[in-house]
Amino acid sequence: MQSLSKLSKDARSKLFSSIGPGKGGGGPGRDGGRDTGKDTGKDKFTGPGVNKFSQRQTRVLRWVMKFNTFNGSDYRRQLAGLGAILAFPQADGGYIVYRDLNQKPIKGEVEDIASIKRIFWVDEKKDSIRSLAEAMDVPVPDGPIIAFFPEKLEAELLRKELKFKNKKEEDIKETHFKIRLVGGSYVPEVVDQF
């Protein structure tokens, strides 16, 4: 939440809308809601007819990713190994998006972050952002960066989270993952859960 608060209100809105509730089963309802209902009320954050967080949105709020990096090049390798897409903020409020982190020289394009329908993680640490930007040979942004992760990784994180203490998703408040190098690949590992 603290990292998200460093983003503009517009950026937060776009990010959460991109992974928000889908269309429901009848009428204008969403997430299986009928008539004007917004959800089915099965999740602790939701209730019949109330527009709250989707499962994917709660995952973004609940999951903490911890990277242990030596330098910007190592950070870049880990993000690339996880299939991340990076969005660097621009002075005009837009974002330059880097989709292939292994590409040299790396190429980015201005994109609407609302079109990237992936879970995300925000890095607000100035030192790690600076070293990553230098390793990518791109301008250091003035503000937090956003790392978007593929659905395959989201499914893996969820599977490992549920297996860690055999809890249901709605009974977990926070899960911490550490990224480790295992057999030449970067993999997430659950290290703590509340």
Query: What's the rounded Cα separation, in Å, for the pair 172 and 149?
Result: 21
pLDDT confidence tier of residue 26, bands split at 50, 70 and 90: very low
Per-residue pLDDT, averaged over 146-168, amounts to: 96
Half-sphere exposure of 116 (CA within 13 A, CB side): 26
The predicted-structure confidence for 70-79, as pLDDT tens digits, reads as follows 999 999 999 9
Place 108 in a pLDDT band, splitting at 50, 70 and 90: very high
pLDDT for 12: 79
Per residue in 36-65, pLDDT (tens digit) is: 444 554 444 444 545 478 888 899 999 999
pTM, two decimal places:
0.80
Q: Is the pLDDT of residue 25 over 50?
A: no
Q: Is-contact 19 54, C-beta < 8 A? A: yes
| CB proximity list for 21: less than 8 A, separation 6 or greater | 30, 31, 38, 39, 51, 54
CA-nearest of 19, 15, 23 to 114 is: 15
pLDDT reported for residue 46: 45
Handedness of CA 73, 74, 77, 78 (dihedral sign): negative
Beta strands, E only, the chain: 63-66, 85-89, 95-98, 108-111, 119-123, 145-149, 175-182, 185-193
Is residue 24's pLDDT more than 70?
no
CA angle 126, 107, 72 (to 5 degrees): 30
| Helix/strand/coil for 61 | helix
Rounded (5°) CA angle 190-134-115 = 60
